[in-house]
Chain A
Amino acid sequence: MQPNVVSLSESDSVQDPTDFPPSSIAPGLRDLDDSLRCPICRELYTAPVTLSCGHCYCSLCIRNSLSSKAECPICRQNASEVHIRKNPAMESVVKSWASGRDFILGLLKPQEDHRTSPSVDSQGKASNTQPDSPSKKRKRTTDDTLTSAAGERKLTPGISKAQVQCPMCNQTVPERTINQHLDSGCQSYLSEASSSGTRGQQKEQWSKVFGNSGITHRNKDKGKAKEKEKEKDGDPDGLSDVDPLPKVSYNVLKDKLIQEYLTEHGLPTNGGRDACIARHQKWVMLFNANLDRSPANRQSLDQLKRELKKWEEAQQTRKHSVTDVVAYQKEHKSEFERLKEEARRRIPDKTSNSAAASGIIVIDDDE
């Protein structure tokens, strides 16, 4: 049986230890690539840190994980943010590996070509004209292409041929620019229709942030000359001598104070209390994770803000995934009917079942 699988065209850009041949052909390389990857995101480590048990993660990944459960994901030993220690040795290993990885893959390619088809893509990426790049060593290449085409069509229901839904950010993008859009990290080539309403407002708020931020820093840094100098060092925001941001107990804070915290970092204060808290929490996480990089590799505050903006937008697309309510109701009519029918049937015997279910609590949570 041939499974339906999401289009691989975007997966081709995914780097993965299996890009390397098994140890029978290239001993150690696949394992090496695997051990330089964070077990949470499976990417090469970004700002690697270790916990007191010695297990290593990306700073941002483990901060995320610890915020939902205070233990090491691998050995389950109790852990918290105070146990996080930078691992600069790992960082430099990963940096070297990342720069040598494609080169090594290139060296390995001639070997593989004997066993698969010719035509080599030096980047290890399959382009549209070369759907079955040998570097990927795909089995059943033709079948994959067929099913993936079908999968792609499924992913974009109700959108005319000229417009496609980006598989990454779910925004509508003109079909002919989808590749450029993906290459830009979902930043550009959006079709105009996708930004409207509250989204537009949001954008305005954020655009202010990016318009202003430069000025705020300039004020802080007392003069452009100094800033230029710092930029040369790859440290435009003077982050090398900055302390991590402390955790905030939002519960005891008034809305006003939370907004002040945001303003302090030049962040927008729109949205309700919850939105502000979430934004500040994420900001603290991004900021502190950035400090776990060695100074030369740090991102600028603007980049972090962009990161935060991207995160916030992703949250929104998830929340407002139902755009056309009427169509949604029509599409799920049978399901609604079934639920109504079930609910009606339950009413009469409610009394007989009032005893609490032992061992099980049903959470009433309307996400």
Chain B
Amino acid sequence: MAVSTRRLQKELVEIQKQGTPVGITLLSADDFQTWLFTVQVLGDTIYSGELFALKFRFDGQYPIQPPAVQFVVDEKYQAPVHPHVYSNGHICASILGNEWSPVLSVIAVCVTIQSMLASCKKKERPPDNERYVKHAPENPKKTQFVYHDDTV
């Protein structure tokens, strides 16, 4: 059996038995390719009251390679307005790229993104949002982001 599937099974069992951290809920996990979570930023932040959805896509390389993670943008959900989140839902975060480590998990990614939102002081899009969104590949993993700002 593929290592990626076994590992995801274990993560799923853990989520079901122990639950998810506050503000994060499992929306769907129909298979071992795509999982959806909702993320809410708790406490007194600029995103209070907003609900976002995160989409995880896994390939057979997980967990050696990171999953493809992006915010869902559809009729129901919008991507948060954040300097590291493009309006098409793509996220510029180093742990989804070169800082990924196979000991991280789906829940760890959710929590990191939640705290990335929580520490944000000003709602704005990345400066190159329009240009990026126009030419962005469908899968955010095909974009090579340059991580330059570690304040938020």
- Could you tell me which A residues sit within 8 Å of B by CB distance? 1, 3-6, 8, 10-11, 14, 16, 18, 39-43, 61, 64-65, 68-69, 73-74, 76, 137-139, 144, 151, 154-155, 167-169, 185-186, 314-315, 318, 346, 353, 357-363, 365
Would you call A360 and B13 a contact (CB within 8 A)? no
Interface assignment of B120: CB less than 8 Å from any CB of chain A: no
List residues of chain A with CB within 8 A of the CB of B144. Answer: 360-363
In the complex, are the beta carbons of B145 and A6 less than 8 A apart?
A: no
Closest Cβ neighbor of A65 among chain B residues: B102
Q: Quick one: given A14-B13, A314-B60, are A41 and B142 in contact (CB under 8 Å)?
A: no
Question: Of the candidates B6, B10, B16, B134, which one forms a contact with A346 in the assembled complex, judged by CB atoms under 8 Å apart?
Answer: B134
Residues of A within 8 A of B3 (CB): 41, 61
Q: A1-B25, A362-B135 known; A18 and B65 CB under 8 Å?
A: no
Taking a contact as CB atoms under 8 Å apart, the answer to whether B25 and A3 are in contact is yes
| Dominant SS among interface residues on chain B | mixed
- Are the CB atoms of A6 and B29 closer together than 8 Å? yes
B13 contacts A73, CB within 8 Å? no
Partner of A318, one of B59, B142, B148: B59
The size of the chain B interface, using a CB distance under 8 A, is 44
Between A and B, 28 residue pairs with Cβ closer than 8 Å are: A3-B26, A4-B30, A5-B29, A5-B30, A6-B31, A11-B13, A14-B13, A18-B14, A39-B102, A40-B64, A41-B3, A42-B6, A65-B102, A137-B17, A139-B16, A144-B16, A154-B30, A167-B32, A168-B1, A168-B2, A169-B1, A314-B2, A357-B128, A359-B128, A359-B148, A361-B144, A362-B137, A363-B144
Task: Count A-B contacts at CB 8 Å.
Answer: 126
Cα distance A209–B149 in the bound complex, in angstroms: 53
Give the shortest distance, in Å, between B47 (CB) and chain A (any CB): 20
Contact between B29 and A18 (Cβ–Cβ < 8 Å)?
no
Most chain A beta-carbon contacts within 10 A, residue among B7, B11, B65, B148:
B7
Closest 8 CB pairs of A and B: A73-B101, A39-B103, A18-B17, A4-B28, A359-B146, A73-B103, A168-B1, A40-B102
B residues near A (Cβ < 8 Å) are 1-3, 5-7, 9-14, 16-18, 25-32, 59-60, 63-65, 101-103, 128, 131-132, 134-137, 142-146, 148
Which residue on A lies nearest to B65, using beta carbons? A68
Q: Using known A-B contacts A40-B63, A315-B60, A360-B143, determine if residue A6 contacts B102 with beta carbons closer than 8 Å.
A: no
Name the CB-closest residue of A to B15. Answer: A5
Residues of B within 8 Å of A154, CB to CB, are 30-31
Nearest CB in chain B: distance from A322 CB, A? 14
Nearest CB on A from B136, distance (A): 7
Shortest CB–CB separation between residue A343 and chain B, in angstroms? 11
**Contact A3 to B128, CB < 8 A, known contacts A64-B64, A315-B60:** no
List A contacts of B5 (CB < 8 A). 167-168
Chain A residues within an 8 Å CB radius of B63: 40-41
B2, A18: Cβ atoms closer than 8 Å: no
CB neighbours (8 Å) of B7 from chain A are 40-42
Contact (Cβ within 8 A) B1 A185? yes
Residue of B nearest to A43 (CB): B6
- Whether the Cβ atoms of B142 and A365 lie closer than 8 Å is yes
**Contact partners of A3 in chain B: CB under 8 A:** 25-29
Give min CB distance, B110 to chain A, whole Å. 14
The answer to whether B6 and A41 have CB atoms under 8 Å apart is yes
Interface centre among B17, B26, B29, B132 (most CB of A within 10 A): B17
B143 CB contacts on chain A under 8 angstroms:
360-363
Is the Cβ of B102 less than 8 Å from the Cβ of A73?
Answer: yes
Instruction: State how many angstroms separate the Cβ of A127 from the closest Cβ of chain B.
Output: 17
- In the complex, which of the residues B7, B11, B30 has the most CB atoms of chain A within 10 Å of its own CB atom? B30
Which chain A positions have C-beta within 8 A of B30? 4-6, 151, 154-155
A359 partner residues in chain B, CB cutoff 8 A:
128, 145-146, 148
Residues of B within 8 A of A314 (CB): 2, 60
In whole angstroms, how far apart are the Cα atoms of A128 and B101 in the complex?
37
Q: Are A18 and B13 in contact (CB under 8 A)?
A: yes
Q: Which residues of A contact B32 (CB under 8 A)?
A: 6, 167
- Using known A-B contacts A41-B3, A362-B142, determine if residue A65 contacts B28 with beta carbons closer than 8 Å: no
A331: shortest Cβ distance to chain B, in Å?
15
Nearest CB of chain A from residue B143's CB, rounded to whole Å? 6
In angstroms, Cα B135 to Cα A58, docked, is 41
A40 to B128, CA, bound (A): 36
* Residues of chain A within 8 A of B148, CB atoms compared: 359
- Measured between C-beta atoms, what is the minimum distance from B90 to chain A in Å? 10
Bound form: Cα–Cα A61–B61 in Å = 12
